[in-house]
Amino acid sequence: MNKAVVLGCNYYIGLSVIRCLGVEGVHVVACDYDFENSYGARSKYISEFLKVYNLNKDDRKTFIELLEYGKNQTEKPVLLPTHDKYVEFIDKYYDELEKYYLISQVKELNSKLLDKWTLYDIAKENGVKIPATISANDENLLKRIQDEVGFPCIIKPVDTVKFTKIFRNKVFICNNIEEMENGIKKAKDNDIEIFVQEIVPGFDDCMLTYDYYIDRNGRTTHYMTAQKQRQWPINFGASVFTIQKYNQKLVDISKPFLEKIGYRGFGEIEFKKHEKTGEIYLIEINARTTNFNNLIYKLGINMPYIAYLDLTGNLKESDCKYIDYDTNYAFIYGFEDMIAIWRYKKTKQVGILKSLKISFSRKWAPAIFAVDDLKPWFFFNKILLGKVFRKIFRRK
């Protein structure tokens, strides 16, 4: 049997991938540089641990260790990234890794899609709407901002991973020229390439997603659509409460676009609907397993296992599923969702009672909690409580 090597298990995305494969009896190899502090590493569905060097410090060392492991296997393992940095890592060493691993992503394409500037060029070429976007290095930046974008606007990085690591945020919100200039300076001081983009009007529930799988033959075999309700950080962050909601318009935009550009494997397109015009704008593509993978699994689409079957030649023509109806299910990341609810209330965007009403009207697909695999949840809360106590004692 081909093993499945899961790159990254220190976050709930990796944990979800491990569970989705393990429940089907796949030999799951958890691959990371720190298992001691990883709640995902507590899952009962892990068959083997592969400790590698921290790729943030020296990805060449990580590559050599991963290559040696692949060489020693009788069958090629399936290689599954759980974070953008792993997607870029696979692309960087694609030719060598492909000799010893089964990989779903197409060489170089996923890295291009993660590069926001390249993504918008690809979207434009294929007739997909995007928000007005201007390079921070444009000679006529101020005039173009006033004429094409206006305030408020956002500063976004080309490399989201590096930006988020430094600033603990996905964007800078700019309400005026001074804030924009300060944001540009901070990014450039940290050697981060950025651009300025218009804000598509609409609250967080205007954020929509199309999640999919495209097999080796370029056929979309599975998809579902969803609607965010809450994010953290609020307004420009990651999903903490998202409902499954069918949207045919997203399918009509996404399916032909992805197939035309030659995408393979699983992923997610994130859109935003203009609250007044109803027009839909592409915001970004997550070229790997997404935050609410457990929601997709609860709806009967096991994306990691589908990839495993496809790459090992066991995905049947009849193995297709499209969620083209509303299911009343929702993804929830409880810890950050509670913080988000409080923040929405504090900024007078949504009251606590309204947020709770939305939450308790749905069936939940939790990010970490699972009745049949409780150790990761207990360990996560242990880490959380430790942080709280340390913070209290520091204050004293």
Task: Specify whether 165 is located in the same domain as 84.
Answer: no
Give residue-wise pLDDT tens across range 45-99: 999 999 999 998 999 999 999 999 999 999 999 999 999 999 999 999 999 999 9
Q: For residue 5, which of 85, 60, 86, 64 has the smallest C-alpha distance?
A: 86
DSSP state of 336: H
> In terms of domains, do 186 and 249 share one?
no
Looking at 40-44, 118-122, 374-378, which range is the least confident one?
118-122
Report in angstroms the alpha-carbon separations of 261 from 26, 32, 126, 140, 213.
Answer: 31, 31, 9, 32, 14
C-beta pairs of 377-383 under 8 Å, 24+ apart in sequence? 377/39, 378/42, 379/39, 379/42, 380/39, 383/37, 383/39
The boundaries of the domain holding residue 278 are 204-375
Q: What is the pLDDT of residues 153-162, one digit of tens each?
A: 999 888 777 8
Residues 139 and 172 in one domain: yes
User: Does any domain span residue 112?
Assistant: no
Residue 121: inside a domain = no
In-domain check, residue 388? no
pLDDT for 268: 97
User: Which of 165, 198, 231 is at the close of a domain?
Assistant: 198
In a domain? residue 20: yes
Residues 136, 173, single domain; the answer is: yes
| Residue appearing with tokens 């950050």 | 336
What CATH number is given to the structural domain containing 365?
3.30.470.20
Determine the Cα–Cα distance for residues 117 and 137; give it in Å rounded to an integer: 13
CATH of the domain at 16: 3.40.50.720
* pTM (predicted TM-score): 0.93
Contacts of 276 (CB under 8 A, 6+ apart): 201
| DSSP line for 62-100 | HHHHHHHHHHT-SSPPEEEE-SHHHHHHHHHTHHHHTTT
Provide the pLDDT for residue 158: 81
Domain total in the chain: 3
> Is 56 within the bounds of a domain?
yes
CA distance 379 to 340: 22
> Are 180 and 285 within one domain?
no
Do residues 187 and 222 share a domain? no
Give the end of a domain, one of 198, 222, 243. 198
What is the number of other CB atoms lying within 10 angstroms of the CB of residue 129?
Answer: 14
Q: Which residue has 């699994």 as its token pair?
A: 297
Whether 15 and 94 share a structural domain: yes
Q: Within this chain, do residues 271 and 215 fall inside the same structural domain, yes or no?
A: yes
Clarify whether residues 173 and 280 are in a common domain.
no
Q: Are residues 89 and 193 in the same domain?
A: no
Tell me whether residue 387 is in a domain: no
Q: What is the pLDDT of residue 92?
A: 96
CB-based contact 114:160 (threshold 8 Å): yes
Domain annotation covers residue 381: no
Q: Please, which residues have CB within 8 angstroms of residue 245's CB and are 6 or more apart in sequence? A: 225, 226, 227, 326
Q: Encode pLDDT of 137-157 as tens digits.
A: 888 988 999 888 889 999 988
Q: What does R_g of the chain's alpha carbons equal in angstroms?
A: 21
Reduced 3-state DSSP string for 134-175: EECCCCCHHHHHHHHHCCCEEEEECCHHHHHHHHCCCCEEEC
Residue 186's CATH number: 3.30.1490.20
Distance CA 259, CA 206 (A): 25
Q: Tell me, yes or no, whether 141 and 255 share the same domain.
A: no
User: Residue 395's pLDDT band (boundaries 50, 70, 90)?
Assistant: low
> Per the domain annotation, does 308 fall within a domain?
yes
Indicate if 145 and 30 belong to the same structural domain: no
The CA distance from 78 to 287, in Å, is: 16
User: Distance between CA atoms of 72 and 10, rounded to whole angstroms?
Assistant: 25
pLDDT at 342 (0 to 100): 97
Q: What is the mean pLDDT of residues 344-373?
A: 96
Domain boundary among 168, 198, 228: 198
Once rounded to an integer, what is the mean pLDDT over residues 12-35?
A: 97
**pLDDT of 39 strictly over 80:** yes
